Amino acid sequence: MAFETKLGQELRLRQQLVMTPQLQQAIKILQLPVVELEAMIQSEVEQNPILEIAERGPEESMSNGAGAEGASLLSVEQQSEAPPADSRNFDGENANEPAEAAPIATEVKESVSELRELDRIDRIDWSDYLENYSNNWSGANYAEDQEERRLTLENTLTRRASLEEHLMWQLRLSDLTEAQRRIGEAIIYNLNDDGYLEASLDELAAQIGCEAAQVEEMLVRIQRFDPPGVASRNLQECLLNQLRVYGMEESLAARIIRDHLNLLEKHRYPEIAKLQGVDLGIANQAIRIVSLLEPKPGRDYGDAKPVYVVPDVLIRKQADEYVVTLNEDALPRLRLSSYYQRVLHDRQAGEETRKYLQERLRSARWLVKSIYQRQQTIYRVASSIVRFQRDFFERGIAFLKPLVLRDIANDINMHESTISRATANKYADTPQGIFELKFFFTSSVKATSGEDVSAETIKERIRQLVAGEPHGEPLSDQAIVEILRREQVNIARRTVAKYRQALSILPSAKRRRPE
């Protein structure tokens, strides 16, 4: 049986979704938080000569965020010099259209001023300037307003010292031999972020090449450094070292830590008092002292930097309505460089130059359009959230309603994935505080009254119950279940335990505190 191979052409019609680079950029910009978007804009401005950052005038105010018919959601100033009437830009659009051109009189004035400035700078004799003018600012006469604008010591950026740097500074100030200093450095470099020594004395001795007794002697000296309790090998030693610094090494608190740390962890205070042969009230006073000690001495010297939240949306009540505005001040104001646009329309410019500038102009316009679409989407999503969660803005977390992405998507005719990207890492400044937009989307729990209750509302109720419980008799998970059941919220004990863990609340056995 013979097989025959043929070559031919076949015409087929099919649909295919293609992610263009412009669409990918728009999706990326939509899901960026405002801080990262600002960094991205700064990077684009550095790489694209067409883009410039315009200064905001004192008369400018924040946009009211009123959608498509009102003002732009993003303050973008576009300037372009009008070319001859028969010329067209790279998109085939008439460049004389006023949609993207600044007033001609203003543009001509700026162009003449810029050219004069460039011509004046080019005619400066820099060698003569350097010979006749001093570069020493200390001898110059400054105006009072210039003097006030000088950087002061309080305005300079500082970096918090790490635990390692803080201990090394104290080590260098100590009267030590070279061998002791090497041992001390090895100990400090083997501390973890909490300030505990992870390596054993034998391991350090083998690493340095000395006796374990020498390492232990140096360890005792470092344990007297600030912060108290640093370089300890376990929690018990850490707490005892802190009491030793405070001169309480023989106190009842020290004996409790030394002999009954396991009972202390389980909050079995009456048993501790009985074993120590003291009254429960006296034992409670010693336990309070222990509770004031720091279990992680290196906590205040961590390298973790604070994360600052910049809200994308501002929600304020005006009269009887809640008004949504976009935080325009968080993003730089962009404009298209008039200088490079004049070069683009200059017939004497080379073809390669014009092609490069056309590409940069296209990229700049896509960036501006993507940012504008991002702002519009966030505004519409936030406005829809306000309509669904009005009771929350009026009365607080206890009145948060169940809400899912599909509800917002159906309300503003967008896809759920778009809503998810628009709310990821975005924050709103509301009358109730600053919340992530994702916070307003919560699952529902059926109540016996027939109405659905938000999971966040139940969490807030659990937090209130724990905050108001007696110190000596904390509420168990089952007790919280019964209280919620009386309030017509029927949930299982394991659900209460899950919500309690989400709120970082300890079990009842570990929440017991001395009276």
- C-beta separation of 335 from 76 below 8 A: yes
Confidence check: pLDDT of 23 > 90: no
- SS3 of 38-100: HHHHHHHHHHCCCEEEECCCCCCCCCCCCCCCCCCCCCEECCCCCCCCCCECCCCCECCCHHH
| Least confident piece of the model among 22-26, 35-39, 185-189 | 22-26
Domain C-terminal end among 301, 319, 335: 301
Q: Is 355 within a domain?
A: no
pLDDT at 304: 64
CA distance 278 to 273: 5
Residue 345, domain member (yes or no): no
Integer distance in angstroms from the first to the last C-alpha of the chain? 97
pLDDT, tens digit (0-9, with 9 covering 90-100), for 190-215: 999 899 998 889 999 998 889 989 99
Give residue 342's identity as a one-letter amino acid code.
R
Percent of the chain with pLDDT over 90: 24
Half-sphere exposure (CA, 13 Å, Cβ side) for 277? 1
253 pLDDT band, cuts 50/70/90, is: very high
Highest mean pLDDT among 96-105, 335-344, 475-484, 501-510: 475-484
Tell me how far apart the alpha carbons of residues 308 and 35 are, in angstroms, rounded to a whole number. 9
* Residue 257 covered by a domain: yes
Q: What mean pLDDT comes out for the span 400-411?
A: 90
Count of positions (residues) in the chain: 515
87-137: per-residue pLDDT in tens? 333 333 333 333 333 333 444 444 444 444 444 444 445 445 444 444 444
Phi/psi of residue 194, nearest 5 degrees: -85, -5
* Per-residue confidence band for 246, with pLDDT thresholds at 50, 70 and 90: confident
The pLDDT of residue 159: 66
- Return the pLDDT at 62: 40
pLDDT classification of 364: cutoffs 50, 70, 90: confident
- 103's enclosing H/E stretch is none
What three-state secondary structure class fits 375?
Answer: helix
**CA angle, 53 then 55 then 61, to 5°:** 120
Q: Which residue, of 280, 301, 322, is where some domain finishes? A: 301
- Inside any domain, residue 427: no
The CATH number given to whatever domain includes residue 266 is 1.10.10.1330
Query: 477: domain CATH number?
Result: 1.10.10.60
**pLDDT of 129:** 44
- What value, to the nearest 5°, has the Cα angle with vertex 323 and ends 416 and 395? 85
Tell me the pLDDT tens digit for each residue of 53-74: 877 655 454 444 444 333 333 4
Place of tokens 């702002």: 375
Give phi and psi for 207, each to the nearest 5.
-70, -40
Among residues 318, 321, 325, 320, which one has the least CA distance to residue 66?
Answer: 325
- The tokens for 114 are 């810029």
What is the average pLDDT value for the chain, to the nearest integer? Answer: 78
* Unique residue bearing structure tokens 């006749």: 132
How many domains is the chain partitioned into structurally?
A: 2
User: Of 268, 266, 292, 270, whose CA–CA distance to 281 is shortest?
Assistant: 270
Torsional sign, CA 395, 396, 402, 407: positive
Contact 37, 29 (CB under 8 A): yes
Do the Cβ atoms of 242 and 294 come closer than 8 Å?
yes
| Residue 336 structure tokens | 């298209």
Q: What gap in Å lies between CA 150 and CA 293, rounded to an integer?
A: 43
Domain termination residue (choose one: 284, 301, 318):
301
Closest CA to 196 of 168, 172, 229, 240: 229
Per DSSP, the chain holds a count of helices (H) and strands (E) of 22, 9
- Concatenated DSSP letters for 237-281? HHHHHHHHHTT-TTSHHHHHHHH-HHHHHTT-HHHHHHHHTS-HH
Q: What does the pLDDT read at residue 56?
A: 63
Residue 326: pLDDT over 80: yes
Is there a domain that residue 20 lies in? Answer: no
- In a domain? residue 374: no
pLDDT digits (tens, 9 = 90+) for 411-470: 999 989 889 989 988 999 999 989 999 989 888 777 666 667 888 888 888 888 888 888
Domain that holds residue 177: 163-301
**Do 21 and 370 contact (CB within 8 A), yes or no?**
no
Q: Within a domain: residue 12?
A: no
Q: How far is CA 414 from CA 238, 409, 410, in A?
A: 56, 5, 7
Q: Could you say which DSSP state residue 226 is in?
A: S
Predicted confidence at residue 240, as pLDDT, reads 94
CB-based contact 459:502 (threshold 8 Å): yes
CA distance 225 to 229: 8
Q: What sign does the dihedral 156-160-165-166 (CA atoms) show?
A: positive
What pLDDT score does 303 carry? 61
Cβ neighbours for 371, distance < 8 A, ≥ 6 positions apart = 29, 37, 41, 74, 76, 331, 334
Q: What is the pLDDT of residues 491-515, one digit of tens each?
A: 888 888 888 888 888 888 777 776 6
Within-domain flag for 9:
no
Give helix 405-412 / helix 351-388 axis angle, nearest 10°: 110
Give Cβ neighbours of residue 53 (< 8 Å, ≥ 6 apart): 45, 332, 333, 334, 335
Give residues with Cβ within 8 angstroms of 235, minimum separation 6.
261, 295
pLDDT per residue over 266-317, tens digit each? 888 889 999 999 998 899 899 999 989 999 998 888 666 667 788 999 999 9
Question: Beta 321-326 vs 51-54: how paired, if at all?
Answer: unpaired
